[in-house]
Structure 1
């Protein structure tokens, strides 16, 4: 028996999220099906991040156990020959049998992308949120800086969140512009349900001039469920990477 780790990239447009759901097509369900067919076993992957319906990923992580003789590092190529074109395994390798993708000290990085123009761009519309009102990027940058550090993010999560603590630490949060594309990139110790989409919606309110950057600081300081900006559509959100302790050790 061995455990194989996968780095999974996918366009979430056609999927009802990551997690298996009855009568729905999900990323996890498709992976289970094709890995099972490849190995001849009943495979159930364990994912690191259960992304919502319509959310994309470049670096989600999953593991599965198998008796297959296919080497771990060759699983990516074997699976990519079977998977649909909107799910691609970026890397695969064997890891210890007790390796778990969720119960570790990880850092997750997300990006939320806006397309700011008079009219939308159909070429990339499945991967951005269209905003026709001119945005003040410098004010959005200032507002994003208030997310840095450890805060109570009770206002930045859905009321459906079932957690014991709303405290999360944000290591990096910045806003950049490349032509018509404006991107919020955020790295943190973890994220609450819908947290990144609400953070992006809050920055959008600042960029549109409806609020000043200081508003973000006031929301976080309240430590209460006050109303932030709107929860933006899932299609603008991409899970960029999940960094594990061994990744940081190798980088050092």
Structure 2
């Protein structure tokens, strides 16, 4: 049996996230598995590097699946792009060793969050940015972000319900860059909890608005209470940007 790795990108606007759900077929995993199963004549399970939530996009999602098909990887890629919805694209297909697992073997990920920050909103980027009219204090946001870099317990910055699951993660970097009205925040870490990036973004926005101080961040982390952090930023600004493997 062959193990095929796909590099995919998708616009998550109209989907209920990556993960297959029992009450709807409107997930990216369902669309991908449906096409792969039809292509191979087999019951295909597509394993992703991680689940993206409803409305979240991906520049670089990694997926693997097992199959007995004799199709070339180029034929697999082209078949997928012919029959998948046009907002889901396979950029590359390759055969990998049998033990490769898109989720378990990922060593780190990057997420990008985009904000349109200016007096005039954008008609064309509204599905892919969170619009904020007023100016933000970027220096304060960067100072607050610096407290989050490193290994910490991010329970206060997640929507994780289980008390048994570890909420310790390592953020290697948070880069905040603005050019014109486009404000980008890039997060690189060894793993991310449910809603972690969006809650951190919401918190940094509140710092930028003067509703919180950068010095509040360590206290929020130590308290481990979700309600003490900022609001969850909207989904449409979030992109899975890169996935890294050894």
Report the TM-score range of the alignment, normalised by the length of the smaller protein: over 0.9
Note the aligned Cα RMSD (angstroms). 1.6
Closer, same or farther: CA 84–20 of 1 in aligned 2, 3 Å:
same
In structure 2, C-alpha distance between the alignment counterparts of 1:55 and 1:225, rounded to whole Å = 21
CA shift, 1:217, in A, is: 2.6
Closer, same or farther: CA 160–223 of 1 in aligned 2, 3 Å:
closer
In structure 1, C-alpha distance between the alignment counterparts of 2:58 and 2:158, rounded to whole Å = 20
In structure 2, C-alpha distance between the alignment counterparts of 1:75 and 1:142, rounded to whole Å = 46
CA shift, 1:34, in A, is: 1.0
The match for 1:129 is 130
The match for 2:56 is 55
CA shift, 1:40, in A, is: 2.2
In structure 2, C-alpha distance between the alignment counterparts of 1:39 and 1:92, rounded to whole Å = 15
CA shift, 1:114, in A, is: 0.8
The match for 1:217 is 218
The match for 1:187 is 188
Residues 215-242 of structure 1 show CA distances to partners (whole Å, capped at 9, x for unaligned) of 2232223345451110011111100011
Q: How many residues align?
A: 245
Partner SS for 1:127: coil
Residues 42-76 of structure 1 show CA distances to partners (whole Å, capped at 9, x for unaligned) of 21211111110000001111111111111235422
Q: How does 1:107-146 map to 2 (within 5 A)?
A: 107-146=108-147
Dislocated runs of 4+, deviation >4 Å: 223-226
CA shift, 1:88, in A, is: 0.7
Partner SS for 2:83: coil
Structure 1: gaps (5+ residues): 246-252
With structure 2 as the length reference, what TM-score do the two structures score?
A: 0.94
Closer, same or farther: CA 120–218 of 1 in aligned 2, 3 Å:
same
Closer, same or farther: CA 177–189 of 1 in aligned 2, 3 Å:
same
* 1:20/1:29 contact within 8 Å kept: yes
In structure 2, C-alpha distance between the alignment counterparts of 1:153 and 1:94, rounded to whole Å = 36
* 2:115/2:184 contact within 8 Å kept: yes
With structure 1 as the length reference, what TM-score do the two structures score?
A: 0.92
